[in-house]
Structure 1
């Protein structure tokens, strides 16, 4: 049932966000209580129980959303319209950057784990896992806000209201950057406390490695907020090529190069620079791409 979750996010695009929130709440509550309190905590089913709980959560969300899809009066209904392979191809191409981001994340996590196991053994893998959890928390915040303004950007771009697109984009940047600065301060100055929550019974060695890594990786929060929003911005304009370029740079290209180069030059701890520097180099590239696009709009607006 997991495959039916993501199409419902479309409801936010068609101004049916209330239905999406109901779905998400049902999904989250069902998963939380079934997994943590019943299947795992009470029945002791472990991983199998966790997987079953997740499936039930998605099924519950589907049951909430399905009636809206089956009603003919709904703006988005499975009972009207015709299937178009051409439209499907356009949608797939335009959304390919988000798909590549997920694929890249899987590849980079594998590479990081391989390097950590090679350099520090199980301690290194545990350290990276903890830091990756923290980084993903911030990334999901940025993705949520960026995806939230995509419909506004797309609608106004299609209507030719370029000034509104600019205003919305800059508001998104201000919000994301503010959140990024807050997350940076929390992770940089509070790294020891945060890390200790993951390794309550861990030795000083794993705490030291993870604290150093957390402090260095915290700098990624200062830039990935803008990079994620920029990728969503280009997707909202239908510029899949540029969006893919941004996603591949921050999610794969500069990360793979960093994993290969930094530990060799700077020692084992050099691997922690991979993510912040990948975001930095992507940010430099993204600034150029944004300036180029906005400059073109300025000419068309004043023409």
Structure 2
């Protein structure tokens, strides 16, 4: 059965499973990759190094934000284009996206390297951990071209409905990264630099594999004649990808806020505790984002084909799956948080283990409703309603949590960080429910 026919007629649960499983595994592996870096750094270079890598998270999120500007935008645009049988337009999007990834990554590297130290200070680095933060961030910035290329090309592949192929590309890169992490940190003794360098090499491998597929086997191929970006095509990509970019930039600003608050309350150890909590929570969030990526071509294709019944069914099933998954993860975290924290070197520092375990339990309180909110916000992006998507993302990831954290930490210290996010999630959940209900009423 051809991909287009599958999107039109195949059973929704089966189709979601087929397209989402590779995307979920891909996103999960991405978050595992981030966690592996921190685990290796904590065990091989110590808690101060871990706090430095945590500070560098802000730069990672900025790079990811700009990569998603192209990745999410091109994937959604291609899904909508193929739904309208516009293969030529889809190929222009593929070519423009790859070219834009090179141009944007070059700009980020040229601007980012001289500004690395001020950025690390801005993101909360202190005298103890700034050396480690600089090591990690400068390598990531220097390798931005591979990061953006891998993210963009693999998202394009997923947007075409070939999520399994994108997963293979990412999986291979993570295997490479994990092996090199162990070699660079424990054999060569490169510490934080080794962790960052292995990440760049892993991204390079993923990017090469993805480009090879786009040139040889994809339905909308990467062709040299389409690599000169047209203004109209670039605007389409950027307008669609803006909500995803805003989400990541918001997360970067949230990371900045949390790092400063944690450093003010408890120094580098508190920053390290936040880094552990964030890594674990991302292990929950990323599969939900993977589910969203898997249903993206289904929703985009059927919505553009005006098959609103099938669009609504896809949204409903994806929300149910996301909610069940998050509820199970919530139960697991509440029961086993001390054991989870030990993986990040908590066994060697009882105070760090206690702080991170306590924070993890509080931070995860909103998990049962996060799945609905995340899928709901992404839904508006998939159907081309960017205003709603940007608003929902900004409220949940930026405005609400930063406001609550900055207010609460004055009264309850680190607990303000741990409960600021759940409070924000509950408010954003209510707003998302209202907007989704309004959208469904209009498409009856």
Q: Which residue of 2 aligns with 1:235?
A: 381
Partner of 2:163 in structure 1? 17
Which of these residues, 228, 234, 244, is aligned with residue 390 of structure 2? 244
Q: Distance in 2 between matches of 1:117 and 1:21?
A: 37
What is the rounded CA distance, in whole Å, between the counterparts of 2:209 and 2:316 in structure 1?
Answer: 35
Q: Supply the distance in 2 between the matched residues of 1:63 and 1:270 (Cα, whole angstroms).
A: 43
What does 1:166-185 align with in structure 2 at a 5 Å threshold?
A: 166-185=312-331
**Residue matched to 2:365:** 219
Q: Secondary structure at the match of 2:348?
A: coil
Q: Which runs of 5+ in 2 are unaligned?
A: 1-145
Q: Residue in 2 aligned with 1:98?
A: 244
Aligned Cα RMSD in Å? Answer: 2.0
Residues 173 and 118 of structure 1, relative CA distance in 2, 3 Å threshold: same
- Aligned-residue offset at 1:75: 2.1
Q: Check 1:200–1:158 CA distance in 2 against 1; reply closer, same or farther (3 A cut).
A: same
Structure 1 window deviating more from structure 2 (281-290 vs 14-23): it is: 14-23
Aligned to 2:198: 53
The corresponding residue for 1:186 is: 332
Aligned to 2:50: none
Q: 387, 405, 410: which one pairs with 1:259?
A: 405
CA apart distance, 1:39: 2.2
Instruction: Tell me, in whole angstroms, the C-alpha distance in 2 between the residues paired with 1:66 and 1:114.
Output: 39
3-state SS of 2:187 partner:
coil
Does 1:143 pair with 2:289?
yes
Change (3 A) 1:78 1:279: same
Equivalent pair of 1:26/1:61 in contact (CA under 8 Å): yes
Structure 1 residue 178 displacement after superposition: 0.6
SS in 1 for 2:443: helix
SS of the aligned residue for 1:76 comes to: coil
Distance 2:218 2:256 in 1: 46
- Note the alpha carbon deviations across 1:196-222, whole angstroms, 9 max, x for none: 33310113x433332322221111211
Work out whether 1:201 is the aligned partner of 2:348. yes
Q: Secondary structure at the match of 2:189?
A: coil
Paired position in structure 1 for 2:207: 62
Q: For 2:438 and 2:193, how far apart are their aligned partners in 1? A: 51
CA contact (8 A) 2:163 2:294 kept: no
Gap change, CA 1:39 and 1:275, over 3 Å in 2: same
Cα–Cα, structure 1 residues 213 and 71, in superposed 2: closer, same or farther, change >3 Å?
closer
Separation of aligned partners in 1, 2:196 and 2:416: 36
| More RCO (CA 8 Å, sep 6+) | 2
Tell whether the 8 Å contact from 1:72 to 1:80 is kept in structure 2 after alignment: no
TM-score by length of structure 1 reads 0.91
CA contact (8 A) 1:259 1:271 kept: yes
